[in-house]
Amino acid sequence: MPLEHCARHHSDLGFRAMLQIPRGDERRQNLIGGQWVAPSTEKYEPCLNPADTREVLGHFPRSGAADAKAAVDAAAKAFAGWAATPPPERGRVLGRAHALLKGKVDLLAEALCREEGKVFGEARGEILKGLNLLEYYAGEGFRTHGKTLPSEARSTLTMTLRQPVGPVALITPWNFPFAIPVWKTAPALVAGCTAVLKPASLTPVCTHLFAEALIEAGLPPGVLNIVTGAGGSVGDALVDDPRIRAISFTGSNEVGLRLYQRAAGRGVKVTLEMGGKNPVVVLDDADLDLAAEGILQGAFGSTGQRCTATSRVVATPAIVPKLTEALVEKARKIRVGNGMSKDVQMGPAVDQSQLETDLEAIAAARSEGARLLCGGERLSSEEHRNGFFCAPTVFDEVEPGTRLARDEVFGPVLAIQSARDFEEALALANDVQYGLTASIYTRDFFAALRFVEKAEVGMVHVNQPTVGGEAQLPFGGIKATGVGEKEMAEEGANFFTHLKTVWLDYTGARRTTNIY
């Protein structure tokens, strides 16, 4: 069906009226073949506000393998038509969705705040980042390209073409419920793939609102399908389906590596973005206030629930005492609560399980000899009693090799380590299995460049926090953090394509040149 006949052509005002945050007992369904379909299991689970679990944001399907299969059926059926759609037209669909969502930033931010717990300002920032990504990939439809290269043979034109790999599976985490679904879905669609998206069961609301915008923008039925449910049923069914030709996953190392092993058994492209234990190195010549503010932003922004969060500070001797004092003083003043309250600076853990993980990491750090400087407890006042709140926590005297020095916590817990000099600080920064992001605060140009060169990470910051990313720049890590292509930027779209090499001989004669 031509795309111009798929768009509903509702006014922007009509879309504004349609897009709503689900509430209470409202049941949402899976998106399969352009229709909202009840799960075959007939089971649903509530989406709870982690700041106040008395608030329910609708009920979402607890789907099973049969639902995943139906979604792949729809994606496979839609693939030929979508792949044949010119890339600029595929990009225009994303552009129309961007235009629709741009007028709904505050509503989307509220939905994100209520389902995941980020404070409203952070939630709004995530929505804007997602919209930047959507806008970027809308333009990628005009930039999709291979290469024209010289041939060893006379009168022969050689080139490469990028073509979509086929139906793909996109598995996203709970901590960025708008931005990550966008940064996986948009490049897959503009590349010409059809997709089955499995959002995290804890945070499905923003994904559904994003899908509504794509439908309104004219996305043909079956091009994007959404199935919610447990990874052990839905996720495994997607990974094992022979029609799925690429898998993009963000989540834990345990789940990601198991997925990778299963997919490798049938030769499927996989990209994994997993854990991080991100250091900030602070040298004696650093701007103390700038470093302290950046560290707090990286450590306690989004409640520390992001793969790029600052979890370690490695500082040299002259600055350690003042930096530690500044960090503890500022951490104690962080206002923790419901992210919809204007004065709140940090929200809750996403659920009881994550809160328990945070508290277990704190207990382990104390048992291994780290010194607790502030926080370290669940908040239980009247304001906090119905949510999953952990106090901002800072430790020092954290020894190399201990759990707090090496393992990802994914919560508001910061470890401070001391180093004799730059070389030891660099060694400590690299002394973990992960390699996502790192930062250094210094006025020494040479030290900064050496850190950029030697830090064993996929992304390096100088005099700014470890967090963040931009649509046009590749995102991802090395070592145990990442497998496969980087995400975002041109690389994000390239993952969903394969390269075809072409020879065009215009001699009109039998080729005699030996090019093996």
Is-catalytic flag, 491? no
Tell me if 292 sits within 8 A of 324, measured CB to CB: no
| Pairwise CA distance, residues 384 & 470, whole Å | 34
Helix, strand or coil for residue 2? Answer: coil
Identify the DSSP state of 232: I
| Pairwise CA distance, residues 40 & 70, whole Å | 10
Catalytic residue among 113, 193, 307, 390: 307
Tell me if 209 sits within 8 A of 181, measured CB to CB: no
Q: Cα–Cα–Cα angle for 377, 382, 383, nearest 5°?
A: 80
Element (H, E) at 96: helix 87-102
Q: Cα–Cα–Cα angle for 181, 410, 202, nearest 5°?
A: 45
Whole-Å CA distances, 437 to 126, 171, 430? 19, 22, 11
Tokens 């991802």 belong to: 476
Whole-Å CA distances, 426 to 320, 423, 436, 459? 16, 5, 15, 15
Residues 6+ apart with CB under 8 A from 256: 249, 272, 274, 483
Catalytic residue among 110, 116, 273, 408: 273
Is-catalytic flag, 115? no
Element (H, E) at 339: none
Tell me which residues are annotated as active site: 273, 307
